[in-house]
Amino acid sequence: MQVENKYIRFDWAVKRMLRDKANFAVLEGLVTVLLGEKIEITELLESEGNQNREDSKFNRVDIKAKNSKGEIIIVEVQLSRQLYYLQRMLYGVSKAITEHIQIGNKYDQVKKVYSINIIYFDLGKGNDYLYHGKTVFTGVHTGDNLEVNTKEADEIRMTTPENVFPEYYIIRVNEFNQMATTPIEEWLDYLKNNRIKDDTSTPGLQEAREKLLYMTMNDADRRAYDAHMDDIMVQNDVLDTAKLEGLEQGRAEGRAEGRAEGRAEGRAEGRAEGRAEGRAEGRAEGRAEGRAEGRAEGRAEGIKQTARKLKAMGLCIADIQEATGLSEDEISEL
């Protein structure tokens, strides 16, 4: 397989290479650029996403880190394709919090969580490639931000909810289409195009230039990586083809059935009324209603046929849902 890019895709590296403590600097760099302060990773936490298995479907990595103030924070990185992605983000953050606090501990042991979500698929509408969200409590009538009492170092101090509640970053890789001039843009250029500047000084990318070179991989890792890239190409092609086939098949069947039903209903109503005006109106209404119903039924049947093909090919229900819009129950009944 001919590889044009020098560097390994991040979604593969984060599951297979960046778990090694010797390679933590790459992930540290990404989080440092996003949060705007020096981050040091201390360990990868035990979680569903950190299962390093060939058949693992999760792309979630939980990281325990320290910021520039020496505070412990938990960083969650997600790369997986999910139909209900916002719910998946919330679930992942909740798991990160609850998995890493011992039963019986006080609530002051709950750590700040940063949810970093790197997505390589269409999430919805939006013109930016980077979105950031955090929790702020604002007065409905006064417009001021709420501050609450908290105990730190045996002193009662004031803090804001945003210092406790999770923060979310969504990186929409496919929406990045510009020259890389800032550190975060250089990271996006790598995430999307596998490009890293030779003279880069961006945190994490300097280390990536040394550790994520395709040509330095051993034969076994290179074969696994090539197979991963082939799987991505096949998956994307199958999903795109399924959408096009379902749409075209639905249109064709809808047009044929609509024309047939429209003619039949138009003739029947016209003869019953026995008048020229009635026949004309009947045909017109019949054709319109027949075409509409025919298109709807044709599209529905076309989508089901496409779902059957994807199911036979072994795609998971989540991917079939994304390609066809069918519910899990509808897919299971096919």
Average pLDDT over residues 152-157: 74
How many C-beta neighbours within 10 Å does residue 27 have?
A: 26
Range in 39-43, 141-145, 249-253, 330-334 with the lowest mean pLDDT? 249-253
257: helix, strand or coil: helix
Residue 105: DSSP 8-state: -
pLDDT tens for residues 245-298?
Answer: 666 676 777 677 767 776 777 566 656 665 666 556 656 665 666 566 666 676
The pLDDT-based confidence of 334 (bands split at 50, 70, 90) is confident
220: helix, strand or coil: helix
The pLDDT-based confidence of 56 (bands split at 50, 70, 90) is very low
Who's near 290: CB < 8 A, 6+ residues apart?
A: 257, 258, 259, 260, 261, 262, 263, 264, 265
H-helix or E-strand spanning residue 130: strand 130-134
- Cα–Cα–Cα angle for 309, 313, 314, rounded to 5 degrees: 120
Could you tell me the pTM of the whole model?
A: 0.65
Q: What radius of gyration do the chain's Cα atoms show?
A: 27
**According to the model, what pLDDT value does residue 2 have?**
40
The pLDDT-based confidence of 171 (bands split at 50, 70, 90) is very high
Structure tokens at 47: 């979680």
Average pLDDT over residues 45-73: 64
Percentage of the chain exceeding pLDDT 90: 23
The pLDDT-based confidence of 152 (bands split at 50, 70, 90) is low
pLDDT tens for residues 181-200?
Answer: 999 999 999 999 989 998 99
The pLDDT-based confidence of 328 (bands split at 50, 70, 90) is confident
H-type helices in the chain, by residue range? 10-16, 24-35, 85-99, 183-193, 205-211, 219-273, 276-312, 317-324, 328-333
Range in 7-16, 88-97, 211-220, 255-264 with the lowest mean pLDDT? 255-264
- Among 1, 34, 30, 33, smallest CA distance to 13 is for 30
**According to the model, what pLDDT value does residue 142 have?**
97
Structure tokens at 332: 């299971």
C-alpha torsion 34→40→44→48, nearest 10: -20
Residue 161: DSSP 8-state: G
**According to the model, what pLDDT value does residue 4 have?**
47
Who's near 196: CB < 8 A, 6+ residues apart?
A: 6, 7, 186, 189, 190, 205, 208, 209
